[in-house]
Structure 1
Amino acid sequence: MRKDRGLRELYEQDPIAADEAVFGRRTGPDRRGFLKGAGLAAMGLAIGGAIPFSRTMPAGLIPAALAESVEDFVIEGKNGLRVLNDKPVNAETPPHLLDDDVTPIAHYFIRNNGVPPESTSPQGWRLTVDGEVNETLNFAISELADRFEVVTLRLQHECGGNGRAGFNPPASGNQWTTGAIGNAEWTGVRMRDVLNAAGVKDSAIYTAHHGADSHLSGDPDKVPISRGVPIWKAMDPHTLIVWRMNGQDIHPMNGAPLRILCPGWPGSTSQKWLTRIQLRDVVHDGTKMSAPSYSVPYHSVQPGADVAEADFKIIESMPVKSLITSPRSGHHLPTGHRKLRVRGHAWSGDDVVTKMEVSYDFGATWVTADLHAPPNPYSWQRWEAELSFPTKGYYEIWARATNDRGEQQPFIPPWNPKGYLNNAMHRIAVMVPA
């Protein structure tokens, strides 16, 4: 498994390669490497401002604003995230920064497949709805707000590869641990209302989502990602087309100015920088719709085994899962104290969590936690428990959730070649000194 590296280390080892990996800058024969378009926009976001003399910036030069920063990598409007060593920029949230019931924008994870568009201004942004519809429609964001009911919902949104780092043997891809998950308040309109306005034909069985991000290669004929969902999921009243996040504009790295929020399913179905929703009479065959992308074997496989493409199925509802958000792992109780209040969140794709338990003796016994009902379907659920430790020493607190189907988090989840759907019990370490 590759070691994760910070921005400074990347530039120290190979500054030219770091330019390409982080900002998409291409270096020409003269080694100058002009920054333009989305690469320039990404660097501007990182340092918090435009770069007037970007054309004369040498290739491989780490901006002083980043070199002098305390954190390894700074993204304007974000803090505390752990940047993964893959291009484009992808970053996860440490568990203790996910303690809020509504995830702050600053702590919301970043998952990019391509390069973000240079401009994310809502002015002039258009959404087209076409395909298997009676009438092709085209909307400005303001027209969506004027024509359809505007709703605000708390919705959990998780990358399908969250937890990939926990699989053995390792799976390729971003080595997410537990932090590719968020639960923001999203404001927008129901996708079903927009589709119904266009008139959904009986032949329509699947959506196809299209965004304004560009392929990492720079080839305009290549698409970084275009996924979709069955019509029944698109017509669910909690599947939204959104333009506000926690009452503010969506962060550019989270899909501003317009995106889909398809809760409970892999985050890849929630297209960012949304420009088009196409209805199709077949299962969508866009980029990253074919196995093994966002797919898992439909039967159990031996860890490390090769799996034929015919044996994969597309991931739909995400599995039951939970997270300990307080205390932080490595917590030391004060001398003379043996009681600890622990808390976190639980969620379960299209389902509802009905039971939450914690253990401090490596799963020998379990304490039932207080579990709160979600404020609306598809929001994660707060849980809390108080533990009393019998003696001093090192403890691990394990957390496991059970949903309304009776499905429970495992200690070791089934392995799959791409490292998806890791819902292993979350564990933290606690020291009791006396």
Structure 2
Amino acid sequence: MAEKNAADARCGVDAGKRRFLGGTALAALGALIGDAGALSGSGISSAYAQAAAPSAAPPAPAPVAPKAPQHLKFPGKNEGLVVLGDRPLVAETPESLLDDDTTPTEKFYIRNNGQIPEETRDPDGWKITIDGEVNNKLEITLGELKSKYKAVTRRMVLECGGNGRAAFSPPARGNQWTNGGAGCAEWTGVPLADLLKTAGLKKTAKYTAHYSSDLHLSGDAGKPPLSRGVRIEKALDPNTLIVWAMNGQPLPNIHGGPVRLVVPGWPGSASQKWLTRIWVRDREHDGPGMTEFSYRIAIKPMVPGDKGDPANFRILESMPVRSIITNPANGAKLAAGTRDLKLRGASWAGDLTVKQVDISTDAGMTWRQAKLEKPKNKYDWQRWTASVKLPSDGYYEVWARATDSKGAMQPHQAASWNPQGYGGNAMHRIAVLVG
């Protein structure tokens, strides 16, 4: 099964079968209307084509139907999540399941790098160590963390660094995320800055290094599956939290419980799950997931598909601007005569905010500005709504494009190709059929 999933991911199979626009628009339309005969490239069903073709012409071979997505079956999780890999377990959330202002835990995406550890029987006894370039090594249990520090609750986006990877051409390595490697939950915990203040940072403190209790896929206990870190300035951001609750409930084991980091706006890999140690370093961290092409993007644009030179890469920090359409769902069929199409969605922009979201129903020839809501707090996503007029029944593609507070706009296709497909933020598109 692991080999099959890996092969599917490499070939972009999951992306194609989950994207309504993964094939031609006409093929998608055939899927929409439930045609018993698959549509050919000309938009004529194979059955009709055979009947209409001259008797001397051989029938065209029927196109191969895409494989159905593998849906997640995991305790406490919505079965609409789509499995991208099972070793390690990775599952994304279809955009239409992200229609809540606060993403329910059961709809939140899953990303692992190693083996999922067993759930602890003593959450409050869980110990975290902060050492390295500090004046006082700090060892604290979760129970002490809760009792000695003031907790805060903030709604913030957590996003996988590879979100949007499926849009790269040629395909990049890794799980073929569409837009579902993101969610916006309410996190309760303590600012990491408070603990670093207690430990006392030395002037040599430059970077953090994060460690956890999950086991490497190989089973080697001496080999961390992932150890990333952030610049000390980001670690001191008051919104970088050590959290123990998600949406008002104890942090589930699958999401890093009993305690994890949440480093909002940056790739989710920096938000270490099952947190055990923060090593403060005097240099950029070089643990697994920090070197070569891991969570790095090209400094000088590279030729798509090229091997790449590690010296031309920098660490991906703030995530790029993105918007998604959460209602209607991709592939929706609307009643005949529908002329007012009401849309809902979400947008976010890493360390920045979203300035504007625009909608197009004519392939980008014209745009209509959506109504954009303010975030609840910094790093919250910004919900948006729009209403567009449709001139008639028929097939329509709806595009959503966000612009961040510095003026950067989502591209039509994933730009800045890199071997592992980070930073892909192509515009989200859905298709609807009216009548």
Give the TM-score range, shorter chain: 0.7 to 0.9
* Residue type at the aligned position of 2:76: G
Look up the match of 1:229: 230
What secondary structure is seen at the aligned counterpart in 1 of 2:8?
A: coil
Aligned to 2:73: 74
Q: Which amino acid aligns with 1:2?
A: A
**Residue 251 (structure 1) shift:** 1.7
Aligned ranges 1:348-359 → 2 under 5 Å = 348-359=349-360
What is the percentage of aligned positions where both structures have the same residue? Answer: 54
Q: TM-score, normalised by structure 1?
A: 0.83
Q: Is 1:170 equivalent to 2:171 in the alignment?
A: yes
- Check whether the contact 1:95–1:324 (CA below 8 A) recurs between aligned residues: yes
1:338-379 CA-to-partner distances (Å, cap 9, x unmatched) read 111101000000000010100000000000000000000000
* Structural RMSD (CA): 1.5
Aligned with 2:184: secondary structure? strand
Alpha-carbon shift at residue 123 of structure 1 (Å):
4.0
Q: What does residue range 49-60 of structure 1 map to in structure 2 within 5 Å?
A: none
Q: Does 1:91 align with 2:91?
A: yes
1:262 equivalent in structure 2: 263
How far apart are the structure 2 equivalents of 1:334 and 1:146?
56
Given that residues 296 and 420 in structure 1 are in contact (C-alpha distance below 8 angstroms), is that contact kept between their aligned partners in structure 2?
yes
1:126 aligned residue: 127
Please, which runs of 5 or more residues in structure 1 have no aligned partner?
6-70
1:4 Cα deviation after fit: 6.1
Match status 1:184 vs 2:185? yes
Contact residue 93 and residue 108 of structure 2 kept, 8 A = yes
Residues in 1 aligned to 2:72 and 2:306: alpha-carbon distance in whole angstroms: 36
Secondary structure at the counterpart of residue 85 of structure 1? strand
2:132 aligned partner, one-letter code: G
**Which residue matches 1:379?**
380
Of 425, 428, 433 in structure 1, the residue corresponding to residue 427 of structure 2 is 425
What code does the residue aligned with 1:140 have? T
Q: Which amino acid aligns with 2:90?
A: N
Instruction: Map 1:383-402; keep pairs closer than 5 Å.
Output: 383-402=384-403
Question: In the alignment, which residue of structure 2 is the partner of 1:102?
Answer: 102
Cα distance in 2 for residues equivalent to 1:334 and 1:271:
46
Separation in structure 2 between the aligned mates of residue 224 and residue 338 of structure 1, nearest angstrom: 52
Cα offset, 1:257, TM superposition: 0.5
State whether residues 86 and 174 of structure 1, in contact with CA within 8 Å, keep that contact through their aligned partners in structure 2.
no
How far apart, CA to CA, are the structure 2 residues paired with 1:274 and 1:248? 18
Partner Cα separation in structure 2 for residue 272 and residue 119 of structure 1: 12
Q: Which amino acid aligns with 1:75?
A: F
On the 8 A contact 1:259/1:272 being kept in 2, the answer is yes
> 2:354 & 2:407 partners in 1: Cα distance?
9
Contact 1:291/1:313, CA 8 A, preserved across alignment: no
Displaced runs of 4 or more, over 4 A: none
Unaligned 5+ residue runs, structure 2?
1-5, 11-69
What does residue range 20-419 of structure 1 map to in structure 2 within 5 Å?
72-79=71-78, 80-121=80-121, 122-414=123-415, 415-419=417-421
Deviation for aligned residue 1:305? 1.2
SS of the residue corresponding to residue 195 of structure 1 reads helix
Q: Give the deviation of 1:252 after TM superposition.
A: 1.2
Q: Which residue of 1 aligns with 2:49?
A: none
Displacement of 1:86 in angstroms is 4.5
Return the letter of the residue paired with 1:113. N
1:260–1:271 CA contact under 8 A, matched in 2: yes
User: 1:391, CA displacement in angstroms?
Assistant: 2.1
* Structure 1 residue 229 displacement after superposition: 0.1
User: What is the DSSP-based 3-state SS (H/G/I as helix, E as strand, rest coil) of the residue aligned with 1:355?
Assistant: strand
Matches of 2:338 and 2:175, distance apart in 1 = 40
Q: In 1, distance between residues paired with 2:71 and 2:302?
A: 38
The number of residues matched between the two structures is: 369
CA shift at 1:119, angstroms? 3.0
Secondary structure at the aligned position of 1:385 is classed as: strand
